[in-house]
Amino acid sequence: MAVRTLIVDDSRTMQQLVKAELERSDAISVIGVASSAQEAREMIKALDPDVITLDIEMDGMSGLEFLERIMTLRPTPTVMVSSLTSEGAEESLTALELGAIGCFDKSDLLARRDGGSKSSLIDLVLTAAQARNSAGFGQRRATTQKVVEGYRARPNSLIGIGASTGGVESLIEILRQFPADCPPTVIVQHMPETFTKSFANRLDRLCPPKVEEARPGAVLTPGKVLLAPGGLQHLEIAGSSARLHCRLLEGDKVNGHRPSVDRLFHSLARYAGPNALGMILTGMGNDGAAGLLAMRQAGAMTLGQDRASSVVYGMPAEAHARGAVTEQLSLRKIGARALEWCRA
> Which amino acid would we find at residue 173?
E
Please compute the mean of the pLDDT values over residues 279-292 and round it to a whole number. Answer: 97
Written as one string, the DSSP assignment of 250-282 is ----BTTBSS-HHHHHHHHHHHTGGGEEEEE-S
Q: Is the pLDDT of residue 110 over 80?
A: no
Q: Which residue has the higher pLDDT, 115 or 289?
A: 289
- Beta-bridged to residue 246, according to DSSP, are 237
Active site residue 262: no
pLDDT in the model for residue 118: 58
- Cα separation, 231 vs 253, in Å, equals 9
Residue 117, pLDDT above cutoff 70: no
pLDDT in tens, 61-79: 889 999 999 999 999 999 9
pLDDT digits (tens, 9 = 90+) for 290-333: 999 999 999 999 999 999 999 999 999 999 999 999 999 999 99
**What percent of the chain is modeled with pLDDT above 70?**
93
* Euclidean distance between CA atoms 154 and 276, whole angstroms: 11
pLDDT at 338: 98
> Please, what is the angle between helix 89-98 and helix 167-177, to 10°?
80
For 201-250, write each residue's pLDDT tens digit.
999 999 999 999 999 999 999 999 999 999 889 999 999 888 999 999 99
The domains located in the chain, with CATH, are: 3-132 (3.40.50.2300), 158-342 (3.40.50.180)
Q: Stretch 43-65: mean pLDDT, rounded?
A: 92
Q: CA 165 from chain center: how many Å?
A: 4
Please state which of the ranges 112-126, 159-173, 176-190, 244-258 shows the lowest mean pLDDT.
Answer: 112-126
State the catalytic residue, choosing from 82, 92, 164, 170: 164
pLDDT at position 231, please?
86
**How open is the CA angle 209-327-312, to the nearest 5 degrees?**
75
Q: Is 190 a catalytic residue?
A: yes
Look at 57-61, 95-99, 101-105, 254-258 and tell me which has the smallest mean pLDDT. Answer: 57-61
Kindly tell me if the per-residue pLDDT of 105 is higher than 90: no
pLDDT value, residue 8 = 96
Q: What is the mean pLDDT of residues 184-211?
A: 94
User: What is 8-46 written as a DSSP string?
Assistant: E-S-HHHHHHHHHHHTT-TTEEEEEEESSHHHHHHHHHH
Q: Does residue 299 contact residue 293 with C-beta atoms inside 8 Å?
A: no
pLDDT at 89 (0 to 100) = 82
Q: Specify whether 107 is catalytic.
A: no
> Contacts from 138-141 at CB under 8 Å and sequence distance 24+?
138/71, 138/75, 138/99, 139/309, 140/72, 141/169, 141/172, 141/173, 141/331
pLDDT in the model for residue 185: 98
* 3-class secondary structure, 227: strand
Please check the confidence at residue 190 and state whether its pLDDT lies above 60: yes
C-alpha distance from residue 43 to each of 33, 47, 64 (Å): 9, 6, 18
Cα–Cα dist 48/44, whole Å: 5
Average pLDDT for the chain: 91
Give the whole-number percent of the chain exceeding pLDDT 90.
80
Q: For position 112, what pLDDT does the model report? A: 63
- Cβ(203)–Cβ(178) below 8 Å: no
What pLDDT was estimated at residue 310?
94
pLDDT confidence of residue 120: 85
Q: Which of 190, 245, 257, 266 is catalytic?
A: 190
For residues 314 and 300, give the distance between their C-alpha atoms in angstroms, rounded to a whole number.
22
Per-residue pLDDT for 257 more than 90? yes
Q: What is the pLDDT of residue 247?
A: 97
Neighbours of 249 (CB within 10 A): 14
Of 17-26, 65-74, 99-108, 307-316, the range with the lowest mean pLDDT is 99-108
Residue 136: pLDDT band by 50, 70, 90 thresholds?
A: confident
